[in-house]
Structure 1
């Protein structure tokens, strides 16, 4: 399957997907603080710049709800949704897929855990469906460092682009004259 070369991340065309950053899962990751810090910055930046946010929870009865650091950034805006899933790939979960399609956007910016399972499967499924997909490496983790490395190594062959938090924020911002410039700068200082 052939895909177009990914473009810059555009706030008007993208959606932030936060995958399974949950209470019983996050603390056992290699870098839980990095996932929470960068994940929260992404959510805050997305909300400030009008990028819809979709948060998934893998079997919350067993793994608990999304971490407070992420939930507190969602606010009560209509542009965010928390959706329970059982599929490892959020893109394979009917409610998630329906919600994503209803947004009318075709760029996915993905962060979360575990990088080599749910994040990878979500990214590859969305890419196969024709989306431009960017995975935020410094906002992802797995229980073992080599699992994150394996995921990041696999992405380019699947047409998925690894990025970091500041790349996403500045590409969403696009211009110093953007009304959100000062708010985004406060996230990167």
Structure 2
């Protein structure tokens, strides 16, 4: 199955300021998520952000929060972003495909992915845009999500599938600005 811009939502899970110092390669994870978010905007893919207990963990990193409407930010206490069904009521939450970035891979990301799969969604986890405190937890979570039916992908896989074809003005501008 291919990732379609018209059928997918970018879901950025709990990339929050106070959590980041404990996360492996957090700067790289944020950079990859922001890169994908910028492309999502260009191809009209909605972005949803979740924040786990923002009172304690702070807001989403500023670079990711910029330009995101309040109704596209979901405050939560459950580890899974899809546990209470509120996610599906947000702009883009009714689409059948979810492209996932976030932390922690083995907790909130994985539980969200498992619930989305149980809901019947198609799920694509962007390997370089997820992280945990320990590399081993990330790797185990990626294995488990793959076994459960999620597709583990790279950011470029997502971008090229969203664009679908070369030769368009969109392709040319995204290639110039983002593909190196």
Q: TM-score, normalised by structure 2?
A: 0.93
| Secondary structure at 1:150 match in 2 | helix
2:132 matched residue in structure 1: 142
How many correspondences in the alignment?
A: 179
Alpha-carbon deviation of 1:42? 1.0
CA distance in 2, matches of 1:166, 1:128: 27
Alpha-carbon deviation of 1:77? 6.2
CA contact (8 A) 2:47 2:68 kept: no
1:20 matched residue in structure 2: 14
Alpha-carbon deviation of 1:168? 0.6
| Structure 1 residues 39-78: aligned runs within 5 Å | 39-72=33-66, 75=67
Q: Does 1:171 find its partner at 2:170? A: no
The correspondence for 1:87, drawn from 68, 75, 78, is 78
**Relative to 1, partners in 2 of residues 1:115 and 1:183: Cα closer, same or farther, differing over 3 Å?**
farther
Moved more, 171-180 or 31-40: 171-180
**Residues 156-187 of structure 1, C-alpha deviations (whole Å, 9 max, x = no match):** 21001100111111111111134421342212
Q: Which runs of 4+ in 1 moved over 3 A?
A: none
The runs of 5 or more residues in structure 1 that have no matched partner are 1-6
1:184 matched residue in structure 2: 174
The correspondence for 1:126, drawn from 103, 110, 116, is 116
